[in-house]
Amino acid sequence: MSSSRLVRFEDMGKRDYKACWDYQESLFQRIVDRKLQKRLHPEAEENSENHLLFVEHPHVYTLGKSGDEKHLLLSEEQLKKVGASFYPINRGGDITYHGPGQIVGYPIFDLELFFTDIHLYLRFLEEAIILTLAEYGIVAGRIDGLTGVWLDEAHPIKARKIAALGVKCSRWVTLHGFAFNVHPDMQYFTNIIPCGISDKPVTSMEKELGYAPNFEEVKEKLKGHIQHLFGITFQS
């Protein structure tokens, strides 16, 4: 396996959103800086770097750069009452929720070491979640023109989202990622118009299965599918 496909995996457990965002940004900048140095000094030894972070956040709403703040249905005072925070951030997409019981994944990949196709990158992330759900008997897919992973995607009235995606890519280095609903408190989604889509609800594995699957088991299955699809080797 080429060192370019080595990925440092970190399961960060429960971590404050802003602290994790700052950490992501530091990893992202380190990769970008190394790429710039390599272009200035092509004779230097290749020193590539990729990361995958899994994390659970305390209750938080994040708004992408193209999103509408009106899709947050709570005032600042109401946010405090429900114990949630709010951050406008630099990813694509609209508003979403992160909280306990949700796998949030942040791949910080130099796509020039994989493929320079952001759409394929998004499809691979979606596919990893689709394959994970299939292991629990949940059939999932995609909706044309919308990112994320959906159930009953062919039926407009029944379609519901189980995972949201929102990424940034600069100099072919990725930032942010996906939020996969395993068994979060679904009540928190009623405080927003998720991803700015008002006519399609959000769901979770717990809601679909009638029980909460083992969270650590789901993470391991998801990690394995990401590894296979991207052809990577994990290092701790």
Q: Over range 201-210, report the average pLDDT.
A: 97
**pLDDT tens, 108-119?**
999 999 999 999
pTM of the predicted model, to two decimals?
Answer: 0.93
Is-contact 74 191, C-beta < 8 A?
A: yes
**pLDDT tens, 50-104?**
999 999 999 999 999 889 999 999 999 999 999 999 999 989 889 999 999 999 9
Topology of the domain covering 3-235: BirA Bifunctional Protein; domain 2 (3.30.930)
Distance between terminal CA atoms of the chain? 16
**195 noted as active-site residue:** yes
Query: Which residues share a beta bridge with 14?
Result: 56
Residue 196: predicted pLDDT: 86
**pLDDT tens, 4-52?**
689 999 999 999 999 999 999 999 999 999 888 877 877 666 667 899 9
Query: Of 151, 195, 205, 218, which one is the catalytic site residue?
Result: 195
Residue 1: predicted pLDDT: 42
Whether pLDDT at 205 is above 90: yes
Q: Over range 187-195, report the average pLDDT.
A: 93
Distance between CA atoms of residues 191 and 72, nearest Å: 6
**pLDDT tens, 125-173?**
999 999 999 999 999 999 998 999 999 988 878 999 999 999 999 999 9
Whether pLDDT at 217 is above 70: yes
Distance of CA 218 to the CA centre of its chain: 15
Neighbours of 116 (CB within 10 A): 11
Residue 187: predicted pLDDT: 96
Residue 212: predicted pLDDT: 98
Distance between CA atoms of residues 158 and 97, nearest Å: 21
Burial class (CB in 10 A: 0-12, 13-18, 19+), 215: middle
Distance between CA atoms of residues 236 and 233, nearest Å: 10
DSSP string, the chain: --GGGEEEEEEEEE--HHHHHHHHHHHHHHHHHHHHHHHH-TTSPP----EEEEEE-SSEEEE-TT--GGGB---HHHHHHTT-EEEE-SSSSSEEEE-TTEEEEEEE-BGGGT-S-HHHHHHHHHHHHHHHHHTTT--EEEETTEEEEEESTT-TTT-EEEEEEEEEEETTEEEEEEEEESS--GGGGGGB-GGG-SSS-B--HHHHHSS---HHHHHHHHHHHHHHHHT-EEE-
Q: Over range 205-220, report the average pLDDT.
A: 98
Residue environment code for 64-78, b if the CB has 16+ CB neighbours within 10 A, otherwise e = beebeeebbeeeeee
Residue 45: predicted pLDDT: 63
Residue 3: predicted pLDDT: 58
